Amino acid sequence: MSDLIRVTLPDGSAREVARGTTPADIAAAIGPGLAKAALAARVDGEVRDIMRPLEADTNLALITAKDEADALELARHDFAHVLAEAVQKLHPGTQITFGPATDDGFYYDVMAPASRGPFTEDDLPGIEEAMRDIIRADKPLRREVVARDALIKTWKDAGESFKAEWAAELPEGEELSVYWSGDDWMDMCRGPHLASTGKLDPQAFKLMRVAGAYWRGDQNNAQLTRIYGTGWLNKKQLDAHLLRLEEAAKRDHRRLGAEMDLFHLQQEAHGSVFWHPNGYVIYRQLEDYMRRAIQGAGYQEIKTPQLMDVHQWEQSGHWGKYAENMFAVPDIVPDVESGAPKVAADADWMAIKPMNCPAHVLVFKQGIKSYRDLPMRLYENGCCHRNEAHGALHGIMRVRQFTQDDAHIFCREDQIVAEVQDFCALADRVYKDFGFKYAIKLALRPDKRFGSDADWDKAENELRDAVVRAGLATEEYGWEELPGEGAFYAPKLEWHLTDAIGRTWQVGTIQSDRVLPERLDATYVGEDGAKHRPAMLHRAIFGAYERFIGILIEEYAGRFPVWLAPVQAVVATIVSDADDYAKQVTAKLEASGIRVETDLRNEKINYKVREHSLAKVPHLLVVGNREAEEGKVAIRTLGSEGQRIMTVDEAIAMLVAEATPPDLRA
C-alpha cells in the first residue's frame, strides 16, 4: 500500500499527501487564512472533524463559517456537549443521555443527582457561565474509537446507567467513538465536532428553558430534565434570533386568540378548536373566499363521511402505513346498562378519516366515467382527525381535528402537466391576495413507497415540467428539490410561505399519484373504448383552515385586513347626546354589509379608543354633538396617527372598499 493518497479539492485541483494527513494540515498548506477559518471538512460528501486523519484517496471540501448550514450544525452540536460538561462540573453525579442540535439551537437531556431536585430555570445562569469558562479554556476536542465492552464498563463505573444501556444496544460491529474535551471529560458520540471548544463564540449562545422528558421518549421510563439552548456563530446572529423570538411572542396566536376572543382549547377535547363568534367570522370568510376560488377554477364541491370501514383504509394502504395516527372505533352499540362497553374479538372496526382522498375516489367511481368527463375536480372542506401525541399539539397550528381545503383532480395522463400548471397559477393568486411571498419545492420519492420506479420517474418529471412552464422554477421562487421528502404514494410540490418576521410555513401542496387509483380500482373509458386508470392529483392551498388562521393571526399580529376582521368598525360616542346619531350611523353601515358594533358606554373617549385598539378593530368612528349636527364622523384607523373627518357616505364608501375581499375587487 502506498504511503501517499490523492486529495481532490472542489476546484478540481489535486495534491498527493501522506496517508494520515488531516484536513487541517491541508488547510494550513493552502494558506494561514484558511487554516484559521476552516472548521471541519466534507470528505467524500460526509462532514468530518478537521483533525481526523485521511486514510485513502478522497474528495475534500473545507468547511468555514461561510458554509453556514454546516457550520451552525457543528457549533450547535458542540454547544450541546459543552452544556453537558458544564452541568456535570457544577453538579457532580448528574447523568447525561443525549444532546442533539436543533433547527435553532440544541438541547441535552440529563438526570439531576439524587442530592437535589430536577434542574430549573434558576440553574441556567450558572450553567451558562460554566459553559463560557469551558469555551474560553479552548479545550481540544479529540475523537477516540473504543471497544464496546470497555466503553460499557467505563459508563457503568461512572454511574452513567443511561449511557451504558445505550452502548450495549448499539449494533454489533458498529464502530463506537467518544469525544474528549481536553483530558478530563468525554461523551459518546459519532461526531463530527470542531477542533476545540475555543472555536465557539462564548457570547453566541443562550440557555432558554427547561422541560420534562422521558428516557428514550417512553413515559414508562425515567423522567429527565431537558435543557434547551439557542446557539449561533456569533453574537450578532444570536441577538437577531432573540429579537425574532420577542416579536414572535407578541404575535403568538394563542395569546392573541384569547385577547381577541377568537377561540379556545381545553382538555375535554385535546387538539380540537372551540371557535368563538369572532374567530368563526374569520373562518367563514376564508371558506367563502376559497369557494369562490375553486368555483372559478372548475371544481365541484362534495361532502364525504367521517367514518369508513377499516377495510377501506386497508385497501387504500393507509392502514398499513398510517394506522398509528388514526382513530379507530368498534362498530358496536354500547351496552350502557352494564357500564363500559365490551368489544367482541370479531367486531368490525371503523376509522375516522385522517384524510379525504379514499372517499373522493369512491365518489369518482360512482357511474361510468368517460375520457370526455376528465379532468374531474372534486373539492371538499373536509374535516379530518389525526391521532397526534398530546405533547406535539401546539395551539391551533397543530391539532387533532382540522378541516382541509382539499381537492382531488382525476385526469388523463396527457392532462397532468396542464392541471398542475393551472394549480400553480391558482395558488399564486391566493397567496398574493394574503400578502405572502413563497418558495416552491419538489419533494422526491422516499425510501419506503408504493409504486414502480418508472411511475415515480414519470410523476416527478410531470411536476417538474409544470413548475418550469409556470415560470416558477427560479431562484426568485426559491425552487429546490428535496430528495426523500415525498409521500409514500406520490411526489409532491410544496409551497413554503414566508411571514412578516421571516419564518417559513409549509402550507400548500399538489401530489401526482398513480398508486391510489390502482389500489381502489378507479377507471374511465378511453377514446379507444378500453378502461384506463386516471391519474389523481391531491392538492390543497390553505392546507388546514385551523393552521392557516393561526399563521394569519401571527402574520398580521392580530391586525387583520378589513375584509377579514371580525369587527370591521365601531361607532363610539363622546357624549350620550350623540347616542341616537351613533345608532343611525351604525344602521347605515350594517345596511352596507359592514360588520359594526356601537359603543354607547358612559366612558371617556380615550378609554374607548384604547380598548378598541387593543381589540384590533380596524376603524373607530367617533361621534359627538358636532358630528351629529354636520352629518359626519371622525375616523381613527388602527395603527395611524390622528383622525380623518368624513361624511357618513364617504366613510361608508371607504369601509365598503376595504371590506371587499381581494378577489372581488375591480
Closest CA to 150 of 123, 178, 131, 171: 178
List 386, 532, 608, 619, catalytic entry: 386
Spot the catalytic one: 70, 201, 406, 599: 406
Q: How many of the other CB atoms lie within 10 Å of CB of 554? A: 24
Of these residues, 441, 449, 538, 632, which one is catalytic?
538
The two most distant CA atoms of the chain are separated, in Å, by 102
Question: Is 649 a known active-site residue?
Answer: no
What are the two backbone dihedrals, phi and then psi, of residue 46, each rounded to the nearest 5 degrees?
Answer: -100, 130
Using only C-alpha atoms, the chain has a radius of gyration, in whole angstroms, of 31
CB 84 within 8 A of CB 110: yes
Are the CB atoms for 350 and 385 separated by under 8 Å? no
Query: Do 105 and 230 meet the contact criterion of CB atoms below 8 Å apart?
Result: yes
Residue of 88, 95, 312, 404 marked active site: 404
Catalytic hit among 91, 201, 251, 357: 357
Q: ω into residue 192 within 30 of 0, thus cis?
A: yes
Q: How crowded is the C-beta side of 318, counted as CA atoms within 13 Å?
A: 23
199 catalytic, yes or no? no
Q: Can you tell me whether residue 579 is helix, strand or coil?
A: helix
Q: How far is CA 367 from CA 138, 514, 574, in A?
A: 74, 20, 66
Q: Which of 480, 524, 493, 494 is nearest to 417 (CA)?
A: 493
As a whole number of angstroms, the distance between CA 190 and CA 176 comes to 7
Q: How far apart are CA 307 and CA 196, in angstroms?
A: 58
- Read off the DSSP letter of residue 95: E
Evaluate the CA torsion angle 241, 247, 249, 251 in order and state its sign. Answer: negative
Closest among 190, 232, 204 to 49, alpha carbons compared: 190
Answer yes or no: are the C-beta atoms of 109 and 86 closer than 8 Å.
Answer: no
Q: How many CB atoms lie within 10 A of CB 89?
A: 16
Torsion, CA 526, CA 527, CA 528, CA 529, rounded to 10: 60
Q: Cβ-count burial of 663 within 10 angstroms (0-12 exposed, 13-18 middle, 19+ buried)?
A: middle
Strand partners for 482: 443
CA 273, CA 287: separation in Å to the nearest integer?
16
Query: What is the C-alpha separation between 471 and 63, in angstroms, rounded?
Result: 34
Active-site position among 408, 539, 547, 595: 408
DSSP state of 398: B
Active site residue 406: yes
Retrieve residue 306's grid coordinates: 367521517
Sign for the CA dihedral angle at 198, 201, 203, 205 comes to negative
Task: Report, as residue numbers or ranges, the catalytic residues.
Answer: 357, 386, 404, 406, 408, 492, 538
